[in-house]
Chain A
Amino acid sequence: MDSQGDKTIAARGRHWRILAVAAGALVLGGCSGVQSALDPAGFEAREVATLFWVMAIGAGVVWAIVMAIAVYATRIRPDPHEEKVGLRLILWGGVGFPTVVLAGLLVYGLGMMWTLREPGEGLRIDISGEQFWWRVTYRPQDGAAVASANEVRLPVGERVEFALTAPDVIHAFWIPSLGGKVDMIPGRENRLVLQAEKPGVYRGVCAEFCGASHALMAFDVVAMEKDAFEAWLKDQARPAAQASEQARGAELFLNNGCGACHAVSGTEAKGVVGPDLTRFGERPTVGAGLMPNTPDNVARFIRETDTLKPRAKMPAYGALKPDELQAIAGYLGSLK
């Protein structure tokens, strides 16, 4: 009986250990990856992460001191103290200490605010948050504007300016790995300057509830070496490549009216209601960060838009035959 009881207790201990490890992994899992403010890949995010750690550790120290005093006063020496000692504790611990700590934090924070809002170095990217996708326009200092959507590319080591707007409701632009979030408010143009420090692919999100598909409104962020970025941006000026084997998909795309809302430069598709699809094949995801950009996922998105992305303006094209959907998906995937 005893040994059985021991076994039960041992098994229970094991369960708790597994649970603790799983919970720890879940919590620590948020500390890195493509979308973590604790794993900074940009100047602004690094500053904010430093601020976070200073505040977190400082708050921890203050909490420990207060708890230690509470334990001392209730357990170790519960009898009354001298009035003079009490008054001194209130004066220094309750007035002097918080004033000095808060003044220090205020000065530190104000100094940081100043550096975080330095103007950019030339490249400006206009971003418009729309239900439920991102309209992206690159405005290089020399050269014409380039339209894109749901993907932001930027050069590493350069301060890039973002001009943020919204035509419908309030959205918020947030790339946790690169910097803090800024609201996108109809009728206003908010500004944000970000500097990526490590090349890589990150994830941006809408950080202000904006409707049914708010959580399905993300975008890919590609930080590239400066030369590679400049070559890429220059290359955007030419029309998308038109592979002859995708002619049927191109025809279906136009015949089903897709061009009324979507633009593909160099073709008759000139719509501006929905995302520009000129370089769709280059983008990592379909549906604004919804699914990986594969032909099957693209076909599925066109067929089931309304269930995959509730309240999106694009209607579902469920009436298209599977081979037609595949042809359109193949065409879109070839646009590079």
Chain B
Amino acid sequence: MIASTRANLITLITAPTVWAVHFLVCYVAASVECAKAMADARVFTGGGWPDITTARIVIAVATVAALAAIAWSSRQAWRHWGDGDAEPPYDDATFDDRQQFLGFATVLLCGLSFIGVIFVALPAVFIGDCR
């Protein structure tokens, strides 16, 4: 999550890192809440499955934050991509080529991470309890 006028390997991995952290937050939130709730759940005696409202709120907040961070990273990468006069496929050993190559690769990774974060959050939209 580094603001930089120059593209580098850290700006490149910002979005995938946000995706990974978001995944961890969702997974831990849901499993901790269900592990606690299922310990004394009475599913077999008509009590039904315990719900996961808290985890869903945590996941919603984490998803909004993650998408915002990825959007921010892609905006910066978009600027890096336009920063120079190099031509695709950006494979010369010059500053402009390096800058635009990293910028373009980061934009692609941002797109992938954006979709990834949405897919990770989707179960919380459709599943409201610990089943």
For residue B65, CB closer than 8 A to chain A, the reply is no
A161 contacts which of B44, B48, B122, B126 (Cβ < 8 Å)? B44
Main secondary structure of the interface of B (DSSP, over half): helix
Interface-side segment among A4-12, A107-115, A209-217: A107-115
Q: Is the CB of A106 within 8 A of B44?
A: no
A124 to B43 CA separation, bound complex (whole angstroms): 11
Chain A hits for B127, CB < 8 A: 110, 113-114
Residue ID in chain A nearest B127 by CB atoms: A114
Q: Is the CB of B43 within 8 A of A191?
A: yes
Chain A hits for B118, CB < 8 A: 103
Give the shortest distance, in Å, between A203 (CB) and chain B (any CB): 26
Contacts known (A119-B49, A163-B44); A110 close to B123, Cβ less than 8 A:
yes
A14 to B46 CA separation, bound complex (whole angstroms): 63
Q: Is the CB of A120 within 8 A of B123?
A: no
B111 contacts which of A95, A102, A106, A163 (Cβ < 8 Å)? A95
Chain B hits for A95, CB < 8 A: 111
Chain B hits for A118, CB < 8 A: 131
Q: Is the CB of A107 within 8 A of B126?
A: yes
For residue A117, CB closer than 8 A to chain B, the reply is yes
Q: Is the CB of B46 within 8 A of A119?
A: yes
Interface residues of A in 151-196 (CB under 8 A from B): 161, 163, 191
A102 contacts which of B44, B119, B126, B131 (Cβ < 8 Å)? B119
Residue ID in chain A nearest B124 by CB atoms: A110
Chain A hits for B43, CB < 8 A: 119, 191
A110 to B128 CA separation, bound complex (whole angstroms): 11
Chain A hits for B48, CB < 8 A: 119
For residue A99, CB closer than 8 A to chain B, the reply is yes
A99 to B118 CA separation, bound complex (whole angstroms): 11
- B104-124: CB near A (< 8 Å → 1, else 0) gives 000000010001001100110
Q: Is the CB of A110 within 8 A of B126?
A: yes
10 further A-B pairs in the complex, CB-CB below 8 A; given A103-B119, A110-B122, A161-B44: A106-B122, A107-B122, A110-B126, A111-B126, A113-B126, A113-B127, A114-B131, A119-B46, A119-B48, A163-B44
Q: Could you give 21 example pairs across A and B, Cβ below 8 Å?
A: A99-B115, A102-B119, A103-B118, A103-B119, A103-B122, A106-B122, A107-B122, A110-B122, A110-B123, A110-B126, A110-B127, A113-B126, A118-B131, A119-B43, A119-B44, A119-B46, A124-B44, A161-B44, A163-B44, A191-B43, A191-B44
B contacts, CB < 8 Å to A: 43-44, 46, 48-49, 111, 115, 118-119, 122-123, 126-127, 131
A contacts, CB < 8 Å to B: 95, 99, 102-103, 106-107, 110-111, 113-114, 117-120, 124, 161, 163, 191
